[in-house]
Amino acid sequence: MSAPLLELDRLAVRLPVHGELSTVIHDASFEIAAGEALGLVGESGSGKSMTARAIMRLLPPRAEISGSVSYLGQSVPGFSRSALRDFRATQIAMIYQDPRAHINPVRTNGDFLLEAMLAQGVRPAAARERAVGLLAQVGIADGGRRLRQYPHQMSGGQLQRIMIAAALVTSPRLLLADEPTTALDVTTQAEVMAILGDLRVERGLALLFITHDLDLAAAVTDRMAVMYAGMIVEIGSSQTIHQDALHPYTVGLLRSRPKIGSRARIWVIPGRPVSAFEAGPGCVFAARCPYATGRCRTERPGLREVERQLVACHRAEELKGSVSFSAEAAISD
């Protein structure tokens, strides 16, 4: 296999909070091959959005990072200013959960879509034609009229399509999508995911798909990485993880979502999701894990290969297939 498009190796990030450095990512390692879709799944505070920002080099000033982020074998933190500009302008693009927060409400959709092309010296008429073509690709037929309209005249689903079109303007090879459908209705979500799926095939676009929804990630990605408290705890083929997860957190999370067609009491992971800086010295999930032993609380497990998956759990082999959580109602977080 050729060098991966993107590779993170033992990425750790600390951010200054009230003057002190606080850990937001303990250990994130994964790679994305050209054209591949990787899901990055986790609850709030797990560090998944921070991981995306570290890849884009959009962390706040004075953030301290260790480990490496490489794009086509080159270190992203080591990019010169012009290389960084080039990287962001031509190689990578990002779409967000709330498109309305990432578009200027007093400028037209056209201003937004054409900006990058005009800055690169494309003639306005040609840029407009290209924008209309891109809008057609994301399922907006009357592009000419839409370019003259303003963001407030678009529905949430339409605006997210415009964001996707804008991300495609520079023909990137990697798209970072941070909860792009969370704010949308399910039927609109299905359409946006179908558009992203088509674009991946047509353009060989690689995708880092960040979501809290394990079922969605399993359906639309090739592989997925499950993140908890700033640490990737399991990574492998999406189908395998969805069926035979090894990490107790992944197993619990999968079973704490109700499934259509079953009224069985759902399992409950006790407690609430913790942030990276709250995690103890051992396994980040130890405080909520019914299988935690003394070793789990003192020695942090790293990712290791078990049954073709990578999992960060000391007891992965012995627990395989037997993890269960209580279905008690009264457990409070």
Give residues in contact with other proteins (CB under 8 A): 43-44, 139-141, 153, 155, 157-158, 161, 185-191, 193-195, 197-198, 212-216, 218-220, 239, 242-243, 252-253, 256-263, 265-269, 272-273, 327-333
- Residue closer to other proteins by CB (options 115, 278) is 278
Distance CA 163, CA 168 (A): 9
Name which of 17 and 58 has its Cβ closer to other proteins: 17
Token pair of 127 as six digits: 């840029």
Cβ contact 276:231 at 8 Å: yes
| Of 188, 182, 234, the residue nearest 213 (C-alpha) | 182
* Distance in Å, CB of 153 to other proteins, minimum: 7
Q: How far apart are CA 247 and CA 231, in angstroms?
A: 12
H/E element, 164 = helix 156-168
For other proteins, the closer CB: 117 or 269: 269
Q: What is the DSSP letter of 25?
A: E
- Closest to other proteins by CB, 25 or 216: 216
* Residue 115 vs 213, nearer CB to other proteins: 213
> At its nearest, how many Å lie between other proteins and the CB of residue 329?
4
Looking at this protein, which amino acid is placed at residue 332?
S
Dihedrals phi, psi of 234, to nearest 5 degrees: -160, 140
Residue 98 burial by Cβ neighbours in a 10 Å radius (0-12, 13-18, 19+) = middle
